[in-house]
A and B are shown apart, each in its own frame.
Chain A
Amino acid sequence: MSILKVSGSPHIHGDQSVSKIMLGVNIALLPAVLVSLYFFGLGALKVLVIAIASSVLFEYLIQKYLIKGENTTGDFSALLTGVLLALNVPSGLPWYMVIIGALVAIGMGKMSFGGIGKNIFNPALVGRVFLLISFPVQMTTWPKAMVSRSSLFFNGIDQSLLDSVTGPTPLGQLAEHGVIAQPDYISYLMGSMSGSLGEISAIALLIGGLFMLFRKIITWEIPVAFLGSAAILSGIFWLIDPSSYADPLFHLLTGGMLLGAIFMATDMVTSPMSRTGQIVFGIGGGVLTILIRIWGAYPEGVSFAILIMNAFVPLIDKAFKPKQFGEVVKNG
């Protein structure tokens, strides 16, 4: 026996690690990734490959040449940012825009703050919103599910074909033409609608969410508060005037609502630490999303809502601390 090791307790460590958590979220996204490949085919594959490769590469390069720190690409968090970015854009997005999105997500959203754990805003959403503002046309040209599976949509789309292979998202229709008479809830559940890669199938996203809950990667507070408050607020509008406001189920199943509530708002780094704080954060996100959808200039508001709430996290953390043991005496 060599020299005994000495350290403070505890002397054992649980089986959780950063890379395990990040890998777990990636695995939870697999159903959504598969659905996107099924409905959008080669276009989805192109966006995914480019987003993932450039996110990991940018993190590696920035870490090596700018920050001069240790290589952190092995913790799967850059991979996760790449996957989430891809799932938040349409499959027809030109390749160079995907690369720009990844550069902004990793460079501006994450590494400029000092890398994993330090960023204030969800990196993938920073990338997405940057793209949405910079390339509004390409970011809102939605290939139709199933129709365009063999097209790569490289460098934009032939204008003559545009109408046959692209179509508005349900939220786009809502914003432009008002309430859809007979919403096709089955296709919203399964994923055969226009939209970003990862937001089309409610079932795939819910499976991923349940997996993360089961593996204790996320807790219920943020998704439930987010979706619950969105449902209640949209429900109030709907009850007041069903002819001009969509019903809550429509709001929950369309757009980035589930992807945002389950995968983006629950990002550990950019969400509050206490349970009450998480509920407040979730409610804020859900309410803002519906307000933007109803009154905003954009048909969809999940990204903006989450980013706005990200900015409030330090305040929320200060205001909502966990209840301490023995703080309020309740005997019984």
Chain B
Amino acid sequence: MKTFSKGGVHPAENKIAANAPIEVMPIPKKAFIPVGQHLGAPAKPVVQKGDTIKVGTLLAKGESFISAHIHSSVSGKIEKIDHWIDASGYKRQMIIVGVEGDEWEESIDRTPEIVHEITLSKQEIIARIKESGIVGLGGATFPTHVKLMIPDGKKCDVLLINGVECEPYLTSDHRVMLERGEEMLIGVSILMKALDTKKAMVGIENNKPDAIAHLTSLAAEFSGITIHPLKIKYPQGAEKQLIKALINREVPSGKLPIEVGAVVNNSGTALAVYEAVQKNKPLFERVVTVTGKSLAKSANLLTRIGTPIAELLEKTGGLPENSGKIISGGPMMGKALTQTDIPVSKGTSGILVLPDEESTRPETLTCIRCAKCVQACPMGLMPYHIALLAAHQKWEATEKSHVMDCIECGSCQFVCPSARPLLDYMRVGKQTVGLIIRNRGKK
């Protein structure tokens, strides 16, 4: 079975919510909609306090090249445009909406029937995706329309769909593939048309045999789409690792996937593309896995953007007494949240609750040079060495050690028997070296 060749680890899968069908999460009383939910510049608000809005109304426009529009997920009145803490732990601009009813923009097609025929042209598709504020739903939230604009001289010969979901605990992509598989594959066909490519490959890790079987039978009806089971290995969902696993091409250091003729999109993103293009529905809701061994139940909730995560935790039986950490995303790459009134955003793939005893890192010991971090690094780096260089602030040497290639997957720190905070140091290194490189460019 296919997989990537270098490094990788096997954390316990803990896919507790794998068999929980997608449930619709009740609409919040108040929605906190961040204007920066994507990689790139935050969108600029185009509404004001007191405005009456509907579900799907454009709230903020992404004006920079790498940015995305933000739409309302609820109907009601804008109470204020203020700053509120988001998953990053910082206060960010948010549009706070007092919810009244659930009135949708008329332009959105709310009928349940599945629209197969793709009538829009390539340019219209990309424009629609941009207008709908679609971003990568795997977690990186890169604006999708930017990915679809292939630079001159480059050609995309294969579209890769990421159904790997290699993060432990998370199951939202799994459920989308299982329950919305047909729409998702239409979304894939739309993306193929936008990219002018005849070939798409969906990569799914082998711990989701039901999704593999389901999509394989559906894919027979679609031209050019094939389903590929992958060996279970973290971080296979990382873009470069997925490309290596599926088509055995290596994206050069510092380059984008298009360099090797590939574009990667998440399976959840493909569904959002379907809804935007075929149903004219902007991105204002997504499936969020709410899970944890200590929760009364784990669930996959179709949630409106802006819903405070406290409400999702209520829905799954409340936050247990002994909880120590709440994580937005998976346990390997997710962000630990500072409070429970942080809203769900486009990139929230899951909410994971860890009990107190699992929330503290093991004691840090001296490096015993076991080389497990070197063996685990999927990018072929020497994490122990980079961490040492960054700790001693040897920035020139840190840069030469290719710290910028680090994808922050956390495999090194996960395997370290001395529990050294390797990724913490690598992040410090990336940040400082990144700054040095940018300043150099200015001179």
Please indicate whether A and B come from the same complex rather than being unrelated chains: yes
From 310 to 332 in chain A, residues with beta carbon under 8 angstroms from any chain B beta carbon are 321-332
Q: How far is the CB of A72 from chain B (nearest CB, A)?
A: 9
Give A326 to B5 CA distance when docked, in angstroms.
12
**A11 interface neighbour in B255, B319, B325, B371, Cβ under 8 Å:** B325
Q: Given A268-B370, A331-B250, check contact A8 B417 (CB 8 Å).
A: no
Contacts A116-B366, A116-B368, A331-B260 known; A10 to B423 CB distance under 8 Å?
Answer: yes
Instruction: Decide if A9 touches B380 in the complex (CB within 8 Å).
Output: no
Do the beta carbons of A18 and B334 come within 8 Å of each other?
no
Expressed in whole angstroms, the minimum distance between the Cβ of B272 and any Cβ of chain A is 25
Distance of A83 Cα from B101 Cα, bound (Å): 75
B252 and A12 contact, CB distance less than 8 A: no
Contact at A13–B251, with CB atoms within 8 Å? no
Q: Which residues of B contact A271 (CB under 8 A)?
A: 369
Judge whether B32 is part of the interface by a CB distance below 8 angstroms: no
Q: Give complex CA distance A8, B372 in Å.
A: 20
Other-chain contact of B415, A16, A322, A326, A330 (Cβ < 8 Å): A16
Question: Taking the complex as formed, is B365 at the interface, i.e. its CB lies under 8 A from any CB of chain A?
Answer: yes
Which residue of A10, A20, A272 is within 8 Å of B413 (Cβ)? A10
Among B322, B385, B410, B423, the one with the most A-chain Cβ atoms within 10 Å of its Cβ is B410
From the candidates B252, B359, B371, name the one contacting A5 in the complex (CB within 8 A): B359
A215 interface contact, C-beta 8 A: no
Report how far A321 CA is from B383 CA in the complex, Å. 12
Contact B255 A326 (CB under 8 A): yes
With a cutoff of 8 Å between Cβ atoms, the chain A residues found around residue B333 in the complex are 9-10
Residues of chain A contacted by B334 (CB below 8 angstroms): 9, 11
Given A5-B325, A5-B360, A118-B366, also A326-B9 (CB < 8 A): no
Total contacts A to B, CB within 8 angstroms?
166
- With a cutoff of 8 Å between Cβ atoms, the chain B residues found around residue A5 in the complex are 324-325, 336, 356, 359-360
Judge whether B326 and A11 touch: CB under 8 Å.
Answer: no
* Partner pick for A324 among B321, B339, B405, B423, CB 8 A cutoff: B405
CB <8 Å contact, A115 and B366: yes
B-side contacts of A20, CB under 8 Å: 417
Q: How close is B296's CB to chain A, nearest CB, in angstroms?
A: 14
A219 within 8 A of B: yes
Contacting pair B326 A12 (CB below 8 A): no
Those of A273-314 within 8 Å (CB) of chain B: 273-275, 278
Within 8 A of A (CB), among B1-57: 6, 9, 11-12
What residues on A are CB-neighbors of B414 within 8 Å? 10, 12-14
CA distance A184 to B343 in the complex (A): 76
Chain A residues positioned under 8 Å from B361 (CB to CB): 7, 13
Nearest Cβ in chain A — how far from B313, in angstroms? 11
Contacts A4-B326, A5-B360, A10-B331; A323 near B380 (Cβ below 8 A): yes
Q: Are B250 and A325 within 8 A (Cβ)?
A: yes
Minimal beta-carbon separation of B88 from chain A (angstroms) = 11
Q: DSSP majority for the A interface? A: loop
Are A17's CB and B417's CB within 8 A? yes
- Name which residue of chain B comes closest to A324, CB basis: B380
Task: Verify if A21 is at the interface (C-beta below 8 Å from B).
Answer: yes
With A14-B9, A21-B417 in contact, do A326 and B324 touch (Cβ < 8 Å)? no
Indicate whether A269 reaches chain B with its CB closer than 8 angstroms. yes
A242 within 8 A of B: no
CA distance A326 to B402 in the complex (A): 11
Check if A9 sits within 8 Å of B417, measured CB to CB.
no
Which B residues between 215 and 263 are near A, CB-CB below 8 angstroms?
A: 240, 244, 248-255, 260
- A14 partner residues in chain B, CB cutoff 8 A: 9, 11, 414-415
| B98 contacts partner chain A, Cβ-Cβ < 8 Å | no
Residues on B with beta carbons closer than 8 Å to the beta carbon of A6:
89, 325, 336-338
B374 touches which one: A270, A322, A325 (CB < 8 A)?
A: A322
- Min C-beta distance of A118 to chain B, whole Å: 7
Contacting pair B323 A21 (CB below 8 A): no
Asked if A181 is an interface residue, CB under 8 A from chain B, the answer is no
Task: Check B382–A11 contact: CB distance below 8 A.
Answer: no
Given contacts A5-B325, A325-B250, A331-B250, contact A273 B405 (CB under 8 A): no
Q: Which residue of the partner chain, among B405, B408, B416, contacts A326 with CB atoms under 8 Å?
A: B405
Q: In the bound complex, what is the Cα–Cα distance between A8 and B408 (angstroms)?
A: 10
Is A117 interfacial (CB 8 A cutoff)? yes
B367 near A117: Cβ-Cβ < 8 Å = yes
Instruction: Contact check, B337 vs A4: say whether CB atoms are below 8 A apart.
Output: yes
- Decide yes or no whether B332 CB sits under 8 A from chain A: yes
Contact partner of A268 among B331, B368, B377, B410, CB < 8 A? Answer: B368
Given contacts A9-B333, A273-B384, 8 further A-B contacts (CB under 8 A): A1-B323, A9-B410, A12-B358, A116-B366, A271-B369, A322-B377, A325-B380, A328-B250
- 5 cross-chain pairs, A with B, having the tightest CB-CB distances, nearest first: A10-B410, A117-B366, A324-B380, A326-B253, A16-B417
Residues of A whose CB lies within 8 Å of any CB of B are 1-2, 4-14, 16-18, 20-21, 75, 115-118, 219, 268-275, 278, 321-332
Provide 18 A-B residue pairs closer than 8 Å at the C-beta atoms, listed in order of the A residue: A11-B334, A11-B336, A12-B168, A20-B417, A21-B368, A273-B369, A273-B371, A273-B374, A322-B374, A322-B377, A324-B402, A325-B405, A326-B255, A327-B253, A330-B250, A331-B249, A331-B250, A332-B249
